[in-house]
A and B are shown apart, each in its own frame.
Chain A
Amino acid sequence: MKCKLTYLVLVLIGFLMSVDSIGQRINFGTWAGTSIVVQPVSVSTLDFGNMMIGGALPNTVSLLNATSFEIIAPESYDVTVTLDAPAVLTGPGGNTLPFAAKMAWSNQGATNSTLANKIAVEVPTGFTSVTFPVRKFAGGLPAPPPVPLDGTTTTRITTKAYIFIYGSAGPASIGINSGNYTGTLTLTVEYVTN
């Protein structure tokens, strides 16, 4: 009996002394087999309304009133979303208006953009891109890798994640011209690469 106990202890020590592990990152997105769809939920415009020249404060569009976009992609993949936004809007006579874009995402399986908005996660100010799984894995652990498309599995189950674009424009300083000030943002969604 004493010999058996000693043997068990030695085995446990052997496990504890295991060597350093080596990790791998596999670029599943290269072979996703399915395109990413990005489309506006209703409109693809962000309107800051009217503001008075000489006003002290910028006009803001809050997350609650943000312009919504839906991403349709296989649920087992990670995507990187990048927002390319100008720092100013341009108006009559080449005058400019300060502009700051913000972004939030929602990937918890909400069935529509209104519900998704309530649980959206804001990207911190100053960051222009974010990476997240198309569908957040409910268990809290990383999701298992996607099943290869091997002739039996020929399509992937897709789901929707949501992106919300909002921010602030202005204030309109004294000296600029009245009129319409515009700009264009570009939202890019891609599979995560190594």
Chain B
Amino acid sequence: MLKAQVPAASSISINVSANIVSNSPVELTTLNNLILRGNYAGMKDFYVSPISSPDAGLMRAKGKPFSQARITYLMEEVISDTIGTGKIILKYEMSGNTQRVQRASRLIDTGEAILNFGDDGLYYLWIGCHIDLSQASAGKYNGQFTLEIIYI
């Protein structure tokens, strides 16, 4: 007695991938500086929102259209005044969008994100911060925001 015929073939799919990295740099341009305006005497902290504040800094990244890049930034910085008697703590926040529409930008709150350049190769980044003034004294403070973008 012969057994019934069974499916005589079997298939399986295999996913193949490769990641192409560009050898040309991403061009970064500062369009607006982060502005800390006003008199902060007596204040313990204040906040500049990257999504809603007109005082947020704005940078434009220009890369290869449709490419991907990893963006990282230093989220916290402590800066001292020029004579070393006080300090302020800056906690940066950043948001991004392929269009120059700040209100529609997406918050990047982990210090690292993957951004996708659109067909024009442009990506906009807004920089805000929380400023802790609880240990500050009168004086002049200079800080520097550090941002890195590399293709992936």
- B1-9, B28-36, B84-92, B102-110 - interface stretch: B1-9
CB–CB B12/A99 < 8 A: no
Residue A97 interfacial (CB < 8 Å)? yes
- Give the size range of B's interface with the partner: 20 to 34
Pick the residue among B6, B12, B19, B151 that contacts A33 (CB under 8 A).
Answer: B6
Interface centre among B13, B19, B20 (most CB of A within 10 A): B20
Assembly CA distance A83 to B15 (angstroms):
13
Q: Which residue of B lies closest to A37 (CB)?
A: B10
- Cα distance A27–B149 in the bound complex, in angstroms: 61
Q: Which of A30, A34, A38, A178 contacts B11 (CB 8 A)?
A: A38
Chain B residues, CB < 8 A from A97: 18, 20
Nearest residue (CB) in B for A93 is: B66
Contact yes or no, B15 A45, CB < 8 A: yes
Is B60 engaged at the interface, CB distance under 8 Å to the other chain? Answer: no
Chain B residues with Cβ under 8 A from A151's Cβ?
1
Among B4, B9, B68, chain A packs the most CB atoms within 10 A around the CB of: B9
Contact A177–B14 (Cβ < 8 Å):
no
What is the distance, in angstroms, from B13's C-beta to the closest C-beta of chain A? 5
The 0/1 profile, CB within 8 Å of B marked 1, for residues 54-81 of chain A is 1000010000000101000000000000
Instruction: Determine whether the beta carbon of B16 is less than 8 Å from that of A51.
Output: no
CA distance A109 to B6 in the complex (A): 25
Contact among A29, A53, A150, A182 with B8 in the assembled complex (CB-CB below 8 Å): A29
Chain B residue with Cβ nearest A59: B18
Q: Is the CB of A176 within 8 A of B9?
A: no
B22 within 8 A of partner (CB): yes
- Report 18 cross-chain contacts, Cβ distance below 8 Å, ordered by A residue: A33-B3, A33-B6, A36-B8, A37-B10, A38-B12, A44-B12, A46-B15, A50-B18, A53-B24, A99-B16, A149-B3, A172-B20, A176-B20, A177-B20, A179-B67, A179-B152, A180-B20, A188-B10
